[in-house]
Structure 1
Amino acid sequence: MECRKTKEQTAYPIFYDVEPTNVRSQSGAVGKAFAKQEYEEILGWNRLVPIKVNILGWRIYHNWMPLRTNLVNKGIDVPSVLCPFCLNSEESSDHVFGACGVAARVWNNICKWLDLPLILDFSVLGILIWLDTLSVNSKKQKLIHGIILSAWWIIWWARNEVVFQPEVSRKDLIFDSLRIYSFSWITNRDGKNTISWTEWLKNPLLVM
Protein backbone atom coordinates (compact mmCIF):
# COMPACT_ATOMS: atom_id res chain seq x y z
CA MET A 1 0.00 0.00 0.00
CA GLU A 2 1.06 3.58 -0.66
CA CYS A 3 1.12 4.57 3.02
CA ARG A 4 3.61 1.78 3.76
CA LYS A 5 5.98 3.00 1.06
CA THR A 6 5.80 6.78 1.48
CA LYS A 7 5.07 7.30 5.20
CA GLU A 8 6.45 4.04 6.62
CA GLN A 9 3.10 3.36 8.24
CA THR A 10 1.91 -0.12 9.11
CA ALA A 11 -1.42 -1.32 7.71
CA TYR A 12 -3.30 -4.26 9.18
CA PRO A 13 -6.32 -6.07 7.74
CA ILE A 14 -9.57 -6.14 9.73
CA PHE A 15 -11.25 -9.50 10.31
CA TYR A 16 -14.78 -10.39 11.23
CA ASP A 17 -16.14 -13.70 12.57
CA VAL A 18 -12.74 -15.20 13.38
CA GLU A 19 -11.52 -17.05 16.44
CA PRO A 20 -9.42 -14.97 18.92
CA THR A 21 -6.81 -17.74 18.98
CA ASN A 22 -6.33 -17.32 15.22
CA VAL A 23 -5.63 -13.63 15.72
CA ARG A 24 -3.14 -14.23 18.55
CA SER A 25 -1.26 -16.97 16.70
CA GLN A 26 -1.83 -15.53 13.21
CA SER A 27 -3.14 -18.88 12.01
CA GLY A 28 -6.02 -19.91 9.78
CA ALA A 29 -7.55 -17.19 7.59
CA VAL A 30 -5.81 -14.50 9.68
CA GLY A 31 -2.35 -15.98 9.13
CA LYS A 32 -3.00 -16.41 5.43
CA ALA A 33 -4.03 -12.76 5.08
CA PHE A 34 -0.91 -11.50 6.89
CA ALA A 35 1.31 -13.75 4.77
CA LYS A 36 -0.34 -12.56 1.58
CA GLN A 37 0.21 -8.93 2.56
CA GLU A 38 3.89 -9.63 3.27
CA TYR A 39 4.55 -11.48 0.01
CA GLU A 40 3.04 -8.81 -2.21
CA GLU A 41 6.47 -7.16 -2.10
CA ILE A 42 8.15 -10.36 -3.25
CA LEU A 43 5.73 -10.68 -6.16
CA GLY A 44 6.67 -7.15 -7.17
CA TRP A 45 7.41 -6.06 -10.75
CA ASN A 46 10.00 -7.94 -12.76
CA ARG A 47 11.64 -6.09 -15.65
CA LEU A 48 12.98 -9.37 -17.08
CA VAL A 49 9.57 -10.37 -18.44
CA PRO A 50 6.96 -8.44 -20.48
CA ILE A 51 4.39 -6.17 -18.85
CA LYS A 52 1.60 -8.59 -19.78
CA VAL A 53 3.34 -11.36 -17.82
CA ASN A 54 3.73 -9.15 -14.74
CA ILE A 55 0.07 -8.15 -14.90
CA LEU A 56 -1.02 -11.77 -15.20
CA GLY A 57 1.09 -12.67 -12.14
CA TRP A 58 -0.56 -9.88 -10.15
CA ARG A 59 -4.03 -11.06 -11.20
CA ILE A 60 -3.21 -14.66 -10.27
CA TYR A 61 -1.87 -13.61 -6.87
CA HIS A 62 -5.05 -11.68 -6.07
CA ASN A 63 -7.34 -14.37 -7.52
CA TRP A 64 -8.67 -12.02 -10.18
CA MET A 65 -8.54 -14.54 -13.02
CA PRO A 66 -11.66 -15.62 -14.99
CA LEU A 67 -11.47 -19.14 -13.61
CA ARG A 68 -14.55 -21.33 -13.43
CA THR A 69 -15.06 -21.10 -9.67
CA ASN A 70 -14.63 -17.32 -9.81
CA LEU A 71 -17.19 -17.05 -12.62
CA VAL A 72 -19.70 -19.12 -10.65
CA ASN A 73 -19.14 -16.91 -7.60
CA LYS A 74 -20.07 -13.94 -9.77
CA GLY A 75 -23.30 -15.61 -10.80
CA ILE A 76 -22.13 -16.61 -14.27
CA ASP A 77 -23.37 -19.97 -15.54
CA VAL A 78 -20.58 -22.30 -16.66
CA PRO A 79 -20.92 -25.92 -17.86
CA SER A 80 -18.46 -27.19 -15.23
CA VAL A 81 -16.34 -25.89 -12.37
CA LEU A 82 -13.76 -28.65 -12.77
CA CYS A 83 -10.16 -27.96 -13.79
CA PRO A 84 -9.94 -28.43 -17.59
CA PHE A 85 -6.52 -30.07 -17.19
CA CYS A 86 -7.38 -32.90 -14.81
CA LEU A 87 -11.20 -32.80 -14.49
CA ASN A 88 -10.79 -33.91 -10.87
CA SER A 89 -10.82 -30.72 -8.76
CA GLU A 90 -12.51 -27.35 -8.90
CA GLU A 91 -10.64 -24.80 -10.99
CA SER A 92 -9.15 -22.28 -8.56
CA SER A 93 -5.94 -20.25 -8.84
CA ASP A 94 -4.10 -22.44 -6.36
CA HIS A 95 -5.16 -25.58 -8.23
CA VAL A 96 -4.73 -24.74 -11.91
CA PHE A 97 -1.48 -22.78 -11.41
CA GLY A 98 0.10 -25.14 -8.90
CA ALA A 99 -1.57 -28.17 -7.36
CA CYS A 100 -3.03 -29.72 -10.51
CA GLY A 101 -0.91 -32.64 -11.72
CA VAL A 102 -0.17 -30.83 -14.99
CA ALA A 103 1.10 -27.69 -13.21
CA ALA A 104 2.88 -29.63 -10.44
CA ARG A 105 4.97 -31.45 -13.06
CA VAL A 106 6.02 -28.09 -14.45
CA TRP A 107 7.17 -26.88 -11.01
CA ASN A 108 9.02 -30.13 -10.32
CA ASN A 109 10.77 -29.87 -13.69
CA ILE A 110 11.76 -26.27 -12.92
CA CYS A 111 13.31 -27.34 -9.61
CA LYS A 112 15.27 -30.13 -11.31
CA TRP A 113 16.36 -27.83 -14.16
CA LEU A 114 17.63 -25.12 -11.79
CA ASP A 115 18.90 -27.63 -9.19
CA LEU A 116 16.73 -26.13 -6.44
CA PRO A 117 14.84 -27.71 -3.51
CA LEU A 118 11.48 -29.13 -4.47
CA ILE A 119 8.41 -27.00 -3.84
CA LEU A 120 6.27 -28.54 -1.09
CA ASP A 121 3.33 -26.12 -1.19
CA PHE A 122 2.04 -25.61 -4.74
CA SER A 123 -0.38 -22.80 -3.85
CA VAL A 124 0.32 -19.40 -5.42
CA LEU A 125 1.44 -18.02 -2.05
CA GLY A 126 3.39 -21.20 -1.29
CA ILE A 127 5.45 -20.80 -4.46
CA LEU A 128 6.37 -17.23 -3.52
CA ILE A 129 7.29 -18.30 0.02
CA TRP A 130 9.50 -21.01 -1.53
CA LEU A 131 11.20 -18.32 -3.65
CA ASP A 132 11.79 -16.13 -0.59
CA THR A 133 13.44 -18.95 1.35
CA LEU A 134 15.96 -19.91 -1.34
CA SER A 135 19.62 -19.37 -0.44
CA VAL A 136 20.51 -17.40 -3.59
CA ASN A 137 21.69 -13.86 -4.28
CA SER A 138 19.29 -11.13 -5.41
CA LYS A 139 20.21 -11.47 -9.10
CA LYS A 140 19.45 -15.18 -9.13
CA GLN A 141 16.25 -14.62 -7.15
CA LYS A 142 15.11 -12.08 -9.74
CA LEU A 143 15.79 -14.60 -12.51
CA ILE A 144 13.87 -17.36 -10.70
CA HIS A 145 11.04 -14.90 -10.09
CA GLY A 146 10.94 -14.18 -13.83
CA ILE A 147 10.77 -17.90 -14.56
CA ILE A 148 7.90 -18.31 -12.07
CA LEU A 149 5.93 -15.52 -13.76
CA SER A 150 6.71 -17.05 -17.16
CA ALA A 151 5.50 -20.45 -15.93
CA TRP A 152 2.18 -18.96 -14.81
CA TRP A 153 1.80 -17.32 -18.23
CA ILE A 154 2.48 -20.56 -20.13
CA ILE A 155 0.19 -22.58 -17.84
CA TRP A 156 -2.61 -20.08 -18.50
CA TRP A 157 -1.94 -20.24 -22.25
CA ALA A 158 -2.08 -24.05 -22.17
CA ARG A 159 -5.24 -23.99 -20.05
CA ASN A 160 -6.99 -21.78 -22.59
CA GLU A 161 -5.96 -24.11 -25.40
CA VAL A 162 -7.57 -27.03 -23.56
CA VAL A 163 -10.78 -25.00 -23.10
CA PHE A 164 -11.06 -23.27 -26.46
CA GLN A 165 -8.91 -25.36 -28.84
CA PRO A 166 -8.85 -28.90 -27.43
CA GLU A 167 -7.89 -30.31 -30.81
CA VAL A 168 -4.52 -28.50 -30.66
CA SER A 169 -3.92 -28.74 -26.91
CA ARG A 170 -0.21 -28.90 -26.03
CA LYS A 171 -0.39 -29.24 -22.25
CA ASP A 172 2.41 -31.84 -22.33
CA LEU A 173 4.74 -29.21 -23.85
CA ILE A 174 4.32 -26.57 -21.13
CA PHE A 175 7.80 -27.00 -19.65
CA ASP A 176 9.51 -26.91 -23.05
CA SER A 177 7.52 -23.82 -24.02
CA LEU A 178 8.42 -22.21 -20.70
CA ARG A 179 12.15 -22.57 -21.32
CA ILE A 180 11.81 -21.17 -24.85
CA TYR A 181 9.68 -18.15 -23.93
CA SER A 182 11.52 -17.32 -20.71
CA PHE A 183 14.88 -17.44 -22.51
CA SER A 184 13.62 -15.04 -25.18
CA TRP A 185 12.00 -12.65 -22.71
CA ILE A 186 14.76 -12.59 -20.11
CA THR A 187 17.79 -12.44 -22.40
CA ASN A 188 16.24 -9.70 -24.54
CA ARG A 189 15.45 -7.53 -21.52
CA ASP A 190 18.72 -7.89 -19.65
CA GLY A 191 21.41 -6.04 -21.60
CA LYS A 192 24.15 -7.49 -19.38
CA ASN A 193 23.01 -11.07 -19.85
CA THR A 194 25.17 -12.96 -22.34
CA ILE A 195 23.93 -16.44 -21.50
CA SER A 196 23.70 -18.81 -24.47
CA TRP A 197 20.80 -21.11 -25.32
CA THR A 198 22.92 -24.14 -24.43
CA GLU A 199 23.76 -22.63 -21.02
CA TRP A 200 20.12 -21.77 -20.51
CA LEU A 201 18.99 -25.32 -21.18
CA LYS A 202 21.60 -26.71 -18.80
CA ASN A 203 20.95 -24.32 -15.88
CA PRO A 204 21.08 -20.51 -16.18
CA LEU A 205 21.91 -20.13 -12.48
CA LEU A 206 25.32 -21.74 -13.05
CA VAL A 207 26.56 -18.79 -15.10
CA MET A 208 25.27 -16.00 -12.85
Structure 2
Amino acid sequence: MRGFKLESIFCPCWSAYVEDSTHLFVGCDLAVVLWRKVAMWLEVDIPSFINVEAIFTWVDQLSTYRKLQEVVDTVCCTLLWILWDYRNAILFSDSVPKKSVLFDSVVDYSFDWFLNRNSSISISRNSWILNPSL
Protein backbone atom coordinates (compact mmCIF):
# COMPACT_ATOMS: atom_id res chain seq x y z
CA MET A 1 0.00 0.00 0.00
CA ARG A 2 2.52 2.61 -1.13
CA GLY A 3 4.54 2.46 2.07
CA PHE A 4 1.70 3.26 4.47
CA LYS A 5 1.06 0.93 7.34
CA LEU A 6 -2.56 1.08 8.43
CA GLU A 7 -3.59 -0.11 11.85
CA SER A 8 -6.85 -1.56 10.56
CA ILE A 9 -8.86 -2.20 7.42
CA PHE A 10 -12.04 -1.16 9.22
CA CYS A 11 -13.89 2.13 8.76
CA PRO A 12 -11.97 4.80 10.70
CA CYS A 13 -15.25 6.48 11.70
CA TRP A 14 -17.07 3.54 13.26
CA SER A 15 -14.72 0.49 13.10
CA ALA A 16 -17.67 -1.82 12.47
CA TYR A 17 -17.31 -2.30 8.70
CA VAL A 18 -14.45 -3.10 6.37
CA GLU A 19 -13.60 0.10 4.56
CA ASP A 20 -13.81 0.24 0.79
CA SER A 21 -14.83 3.06 -1.54
CA THR A 22 -18.50 2.06 -1.47
CA HIS A 23 -18.59 2.06 2.31
CA LEU A 24 -16.65 5.32 2.63
CA PHE A 25 -18.67 7.33 0.12
CA VAL A 26 -22.19 5.90 0.37
CA GLY A 27 -22.44 3.25 3.09
CA CYS A 28 -20.84 4.77 6.18
CA ASP A 29 -23.35 6.28 8.60
CA LEU A 30 -21.51 9.60 8.32
CA ALA A 31 -21.84 9.56 4.52
CA VAL A 32 -25.55 8.69 4.73
CA VAL A 33 -26.20 11.61 7.09
CA LEU A 34 -24.32 14.02 4.83
CA TRP A 35 -26.16 12.81 1.69
CA ARG A 36 -29.48 13.39 3.50
CA LYS A 37 -28.45 16.91 4.52
CA VAL A 38 -27.41 17.70 0.96
CA ALA A 39 -30.76 16.42 -0.36
CA MET A 40 -32.66 18.63 2.06
CA TRP A 41 -30.45 21.64 1.31
CA LEU A 42 -30.77 21.29 -2.47
CA GLU A 43 -34.42 20.23 -2.25
CA VAL A 44 -33.83 17.23 -4.50
CA ASP A 45 -34.58 13.56 -4.04
CA ILE A 46 -31.26 11.80 -3.82
CA PRO A 47 -31.58 8.02 -4.10
CA SER A 48 -29.68 5.54 -1.97
CA PHE A 49 -26.56 4.81 -3.99
CA ILE A 50 -25.11 1.32 -4.27
CA ASN A 51 -21.64 2.56 -5.23
CA VAL A 52 -19.72 5.66 -6.31
CA GLU A 53 -20.43 5.11 -10.00
CA ALA A 54 -24.17 5.31 -9.25
CA ILE A 55 -23.69 8.86 -7.96
CA PHE A 56 -22.26 10.06 -11.28
CA THR A 57 -24.84 8.10 -13.28
CA TRP A 58 -27.62 9.74 -11.27
CA VAL A 59 -26.18 13.24 -11.77
CA ASP A 60 -25.75 12.66 -15.52
CA GLN A 61 -29.34 11.45 -15.83
CA LEU A 62 -30.94 14.31 -13.89
CA SER A 63 -33.70 15.72 -16.04
CA THR A 64 -33.65 19.29 -14.86
CA TYR A 65 -32.38 22.63 -16.00
CA ARG A 66 -28.65 23.03 -16.63
CA LYS A 67 -27.82 25.23 -13.63
CA LEU A 68 -29.34 22.76 -11.16
CA GLN A 69 -27.47 19.88 -12.76
CA GLU A 70 -24.21 21.81 -12.47
CA VAL A 71 -24.99 22.68 -8.84
CA VAL A 72 -25.76 19.06 -8.00
CA ASP A 73 -22.64 17.84 -9.79
CA THR A 74 -20.44 20.32 -7.93
CA VAL A 75 -22.01 19.57 -4.55
CA CYS A 76 -21.76 15.78 -5.05
CA CYS A 77 -18.09 16.01 -6.02
CA THR A 78 -17.46 18.28 -3.05
CA LEU A 79 -19.16 15.87 -0.67
CA LEU A 80 -17.01 13.00 -1.96
CA TRP A 81 -13.88 15.09 -1.48
CA ILE A 82 -14.93 16.13 2.06
CA LEU A 83 -15.49 12.47 3.01
CA TRP A 84 -12.10 11.49 1.55
CA ASP A 85 -10.35 14.38 3.29
CA TYR A 86 -12.03 13.57 6.62
CA ARG A 87 -11.06 9.91 6.36
CA ASN A 88 -7.46 10.84 5.62
CA ALA A 89 -7.38 13.31 8.52
CA ILE A 90 -8.48 10.53 10.87
CA LEU A 91 -5.76 8.20 9.59
CA PHE A 92 -2.86 10.52 8.91
CA SER A 93 -3.28 13.82 10.76
CA ASP A 94 -3.02 15.01 14.32
CA SER A 95 -5.90 17.42 13.67
CA VAL A 96 -9.26 15.87 12.78
CA PRO A 97 -12.18 18.17 11.95
CA LYS A 98 -15.35 17.75 13.96
CA LYS A 99 -18.10 15.78 12.22
CA SER A 100 -20.48 18.63 13.01
CA VAL A 101 -18.66 20.97 10.58
CA LEU A 102 -18.46 18.62 7.60
CA PHE A 103 -21.75 19.72 6.04
CA ASP A 104 -20.74 23.37 6.43
CA SER A 105 -17.52 22.50 4.62
CA VAL A 106 -19.51 20.97 1.77
CA VAL A 107 -21.51 24.20 1.48
CA ASP A 108 -18.45 26.46 1.63
CA TYR A 109 -16.19 24.53 -0.72
CA SER A 110 -18.93 23.82 -3.23
CA PHE A 111 -19.75 27.54 -3.43
CA ASP A 112 -16.14 28.40 -4.29
CA TRP A 113 -15.80 25.51 -6.74
CA PHE A 114 -19.11 26.29 -8.43
CA LEU A 115 -18.16 29.93 -9.00
CA ASN A 116 -14.75 28.96 -10.35
CA ARG A 117 -16.31 26.48 -12.78
CA ASN A 118 -19.18 28.79 -13.82
CA SER A 119 -17.88 32.32 -14.05
CA SER A 120 -20.89 33.49 -16.07
CA ILE A 121 -23.32 32.68 -13.24
CA SER A 122 -23.67 35.19 -10.45
CA ILE A 123 -24.81 34.01 -7.02
CA SER A 124 -24.06 35.42 -3.60
CA ARG A 125 -22.76 33.29 -0.74
CA ASN A 126 -25.97 33.97 1.20
CA SER A 127 -28.13 32.79 -1.71
CA TRP A 128 -25.94 29.70 -2.03
CA ILE A 129 -26.35 28.89 1.64
CA LEU A 130 -30.14 29.27 1.47
CA ASN A 131 -30.59 27.25 -1.72
CA PRO A 132 -28.07 27.24 -4.58
CA SER A 133 -30.50 25.68 -7.03
CA LEU A 134 -32.82 28.71 -7.18
Unaligned runs of 5+ in 2: none
Q: CA deviation at 1:187?
A: 1.4
Residue aligning to 2:32:
104
Residue identity opposite 2:76 in structure 1: I
The answer on whether the counterparts of 1:94 and 1:122 sit within 8 Å (CA) in structure 2 is yes
In 2, Cα distance between equivalents of 1:113 and 1:101: 18
Alignment correspondent of 1:154:
82
- Partner Cα distance (1:95, 1:114) in 2: 23
Q: Deviations over 1:154-179 (max 9, x none)?
A: 11111111112355332332111010
In the superposition, the TM-score normalised over structure 1's length comes to 0.58
Q: TM-score, normalised by structure 2?
A: 0.86
Q: Matched residue pairs, number?
A: 133
C-alpha distance in 2 between matches for 1:150 and 1:118: 15
Q: Which has the higher contact order (CA 8 A, sep 6+)?
A: 2
Local SS of the residue matching 1:204: coil
Map 1:16-165 → 2, pairs under 5 A = 71=1, 78-165=6-93
> Using the alignment, how far apart are the partners of 2:16 and 2:53 within structure 1?
22
CA distance in 1, matches of 2:124, 2:51: 32
Pairing 1:183–2:111 present: yes
Aligned-residue RMSD, C-alpha: 2.0
Q: Which runs of 5+ in 1 are unaligned?
A: 1-70
Deviations 1:169-208 (A, max 9, x none): 32332111010011112113322121111110111111xx
Q: Which has the larger radius of gyration?
A: 1
SS of the aligned residue for 1:205 comes to coil
The answer on whether the counterparts of 1:82 and 1:88 sit within 8 Å (CA) in structure 2 is: yes
Q: Residues 150 and 164 (structure 1 numbering): CA distance in 2 closer, same or farther, change over 3 Å?
A: same
**2:96 paired residue among 168, 190, 194:** 168
SS of residue paired to 1:168: coil
Distance (Å, rounded) in 1 between the aligned partners of 2:14 and 2:100: 12
